[in-house]
């Protein structure tokens, strides 16, 4: 395949990988002059027409995805029975290679990568695309730490006829969800299960289930319980383990409902590695419900039951004492209820009503202080990211400002967590258009773009960026770029050559590093013949080396000829079949109009010959029935 060109556009340069379903090559796009990755399907898949049709449909659907954590699909095509996908070329390693090199990753690094994978799944799921083959082999990690998910649409295209192919199953079975292993219905939650297994492998260095065959591993996904990561590796944070164990629940209904939910917990863990999650879905696996035995033991209970002669006096005294205590408590309670009840009734029936101030756009402290001055309290109903409000600012309130509210009712607010953070992508050595598209995918904006000459970086390629790659910034942050304008062009001053003879002027122009373009003859009563009258670029103007210049050269004095006199004969044809047409010939000379001829004629009289006399040049106009037919300028005294 090396050297072959697919689709008259993609020249195969080298082989960079292979998988159960395809071979991957690095190729050069002849149209856009950039490197791309070309994935070519193995022949055993291209023989299945139903698979090929499904493959093209799903790949084209996946091509609509545009996200910084998804490898972009540029093109899908076929060339001489070779089915291929053209994708973004990513320089880096697969996540599987990184896990093998490191053994395992530290929890924070693993969570950072999982967060990026989860962002990709959120984008895909929102576009109704399920990956179905999330595994470390399908995650590319760039040099700057950006994770990119690949093979969207390919796994979805696998049908029953292709699952039998051993290569496509063995590579993924370690990450299959139980419903995939059973061959049942799969949806977005299947991707979350696979992501949980990937995260498990990142922090432990191993997959949860191993076996002698793909079938045995698949059965373990269905039947066996996963050993919690903390039992294998010391120091696994409890919060991260909770995320993993919830994602890999065998029952899909016990997993995260959406990728957004899982992403939210991963982000919470990244912000606070000591977090412990509470609520539904986190306690079942790590803290199962158990039945506790009664305090004491069976022998003590038996002895008490068999003791038929207890001390009756002691029992009566204790009973009497308890009666007094209970009576005292009841009496105190009644008094308290009577007093407190009156206060409560008064509070409920006579609550102050105030006009709620507008606190939207204010800080939490400012809002609480202002509400306090009105006798109101603030209650935070929700905290969420918002690109338009800084962290700690009130986004909205209920009731709204200007409406009435009882002082006993709190004002509910939504508090901003500030813009969502995003990672600045690596833009160096990318073409400017590609860099701007990358910024858009990262939800960032282009800032100041500066052109700077370079002897090494090609024209239009990014030389520098600010902020630097890998920094976490707010969404919408502007990124400044420095774009190469190519080698610096030498500027030279234009020499003055007016008043020089043409040969001397030409020599001076060439010695200055310029090119003499065209020369234009011009009559002059002052400048002698053969000398330069003027130049196209003014002297001392700074121009690029090798620029062209034009010169106007004198031809000497103009020879004035006296005007000549004479007569010209005009031939006039009347329209065919016309009768009684008034033919008029007018002459315009030196601003004077003269009628040279006027008479009526029929067309059958043949062409008319009308003489016109004059001196020098004149304009002659021919009219039929006072309507101009044509005109021309004639010179008298020449040959007719």
User: From start to end of 271-410, where are the E strands?
Assistant: 353-355, 378-384, 394-398, 404-406
Rounded to whole angstroms, the Cα distance separating 26 from 41 reads 15
Bridge partners, 501 (sequence order): 531
Which residues is 332 bridged to in the sheet?
A: none
- With H, G, I as helix, E, B as strand and everything else as coil, classify residue 413: strand
Across 540-549, b (16+ Cβ under 10 Å) vs e yields eeebeeebeb
b/e sequence 299-333, b meaning 16+ C-beta within 10 Å: eeeeeeeeeeeeeeeeeeeeeeeeeeeeeeeeeee
> Which residues are CB-neighbours of 124 under 8 A, at least 6 positions away?
65, 67, 70, 130, 131, 149, 152
Both tokens assigned to 46: 């291209």
| CA-wise closest residue to 54 among 126, 155, 145, 142 | 155
110: number of Cβ within 10 Å: 24
Q: Which residues contact 57 (CB under 8 A, 6 or more apart)?
A: 157
E-only strand ranges, 155-235? none
Give CA–CA dist 573/612, Å, rounded. Answer: 16
Q: Cα–Cα distance between 148 and 95 in angstroms, integer? A: 10
Query: Three-state SS string across 572-640, please?
Result: ECCCCCCCCEEEEEEEEECCEEEEEEEEEECHHHCCEEEEEEEECEEEEEEEECCEEEEEEEEECCCCC
| Active site (annotated) includes residue 352 | no
DSSP symbol at 431: B
| Catalytic residue from among 133, 151, 191, 265 | 133
What is the spatial order of strands in the sheet that 147-149 belongs to?
A: 92-94, 139-142, 147-149
Residues with a catalytic annotation lie at: 133
């Amino acid at each position: 395949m090396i050297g072959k060109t697919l689709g008259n556009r993609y020249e195969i340069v080298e082989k960079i990988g292979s998988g159960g379903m395809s071979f991957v090559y690095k190729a050069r796009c002849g149209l856009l002059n950039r490197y791309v990755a070309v994935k070519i399907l193995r022949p055993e898949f291209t023989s299945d027409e139903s698979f090929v049709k499904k493959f093209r449909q799903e790949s084209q659907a996946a091509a609509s995805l545009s996200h910084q954590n998804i490898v972009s699909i540029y093109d899908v095509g076929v060339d001489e029975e070779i089915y291929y996908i053209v994708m973004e070329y990513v320089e880096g390693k697969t996540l599987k290679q990184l896990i093998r090199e490191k053994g395992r990753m530290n929890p924070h690094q693993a969570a950072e990568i999982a967060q990026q994978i989860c962002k990709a799944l959120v984008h895909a799921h929102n576009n109704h695309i399920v990956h179905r083959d999330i595994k470390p082999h399908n995650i590319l990690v760039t040099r700057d730490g950006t994770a990119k998910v690949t093979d969207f649409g390919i796994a979805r295209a696998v049908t029953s006829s292709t699952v039998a192919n051993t290569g496509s199953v063995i590579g993924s079975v370690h990450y299959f969800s139980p419903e995939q292993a059973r061959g049942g219905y799969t949806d977005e939650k299947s991707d979350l299960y696979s992501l949980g297994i990937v995260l498990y492998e990142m922090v432990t260095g191993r997959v949860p289930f191993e076996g002698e065959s793909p079938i045995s591993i698949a059965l373990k996904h269905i039947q066996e319980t996963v050993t919690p990561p903390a039992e294998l590796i010391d120091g696994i944070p409890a919060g991260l383990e909770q995320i993993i164990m919830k994602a890999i629940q065998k029952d899909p209904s016990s997993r995260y409902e959406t990728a957004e939910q899982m992403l939210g917990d991963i982000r919470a863990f990244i912000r606070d590695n000591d977090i412990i999650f509470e609520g539904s879905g986190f306690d079942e696996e790590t803290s199962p419900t158990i039945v506790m035995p009664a305090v004491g033991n069976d022998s003590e209970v038996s002895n008490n039951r068999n003791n038929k002669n207890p001390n009756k006096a002691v029992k009566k005294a204790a009973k009497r004492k308890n009666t007094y205590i209970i009576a005292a408590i009841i009496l105190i309670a009644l008094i308290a209820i009577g007093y407190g009840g009156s206060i409560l009734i008064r509070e409920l029936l006579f609550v102050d009503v105030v006009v709620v101030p507008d606190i939207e756009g204010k800080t939490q402290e400012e809002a609480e202080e202002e509400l306090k001055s009105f006798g109101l309290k603030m209650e935070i109903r929700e905290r969420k990211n918002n690109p338009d409000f800084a962290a700690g600012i009130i986004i909205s309130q209920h009731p709204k400002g200007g409406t009435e509210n009882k002082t006993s009712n709190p004002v509910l607010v939504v508090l901003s967590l500030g813009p969502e953070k995003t990672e600045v992508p690596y833009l160096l050595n990318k073409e400017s258009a590609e860099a701007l598209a990358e910024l858009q995918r990262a939800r960032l904006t282009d800032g100041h773009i500066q052109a700077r000459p370079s002897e090494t970086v090609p024209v239009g390629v990014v030389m520098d960026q600010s902020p630097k790659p890998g920094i976490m910034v707010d969404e919408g942050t502007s990124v400044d770029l420095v774009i190469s304008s190519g080698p610096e062009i030498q500027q030279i001053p234009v020499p003055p050559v007016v008043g020089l003879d043409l040969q001397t002027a030409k020599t001076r122009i060439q010695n200055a590093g310029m090119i003499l373009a065209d020369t234009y003859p011009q009559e002059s009563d002052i400048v002698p013949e053969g000398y330069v009258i003027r130049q196209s670029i003014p002297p001392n103007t700074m121009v690029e080396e090798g620029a062209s210049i034009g010169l106007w050269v004198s031809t000497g004095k103009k020879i004035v000829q006296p005007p000549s006199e004479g007569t010209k004969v005009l031939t006039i044809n009347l329209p065919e079949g016309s009768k009684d047409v008034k033919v008029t010939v007018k002459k315009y000379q030196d601003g004077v109009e003269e009628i040279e001829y006027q008479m009526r004629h029929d067309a059958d009289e043949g062409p008319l010959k009308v003489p016109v006399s004059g001196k020098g040049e004149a304009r002659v106009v021919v009219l039929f029935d006072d309507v101009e037919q044509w005109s021309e300028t004639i010179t008298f005294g020449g040959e007719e």
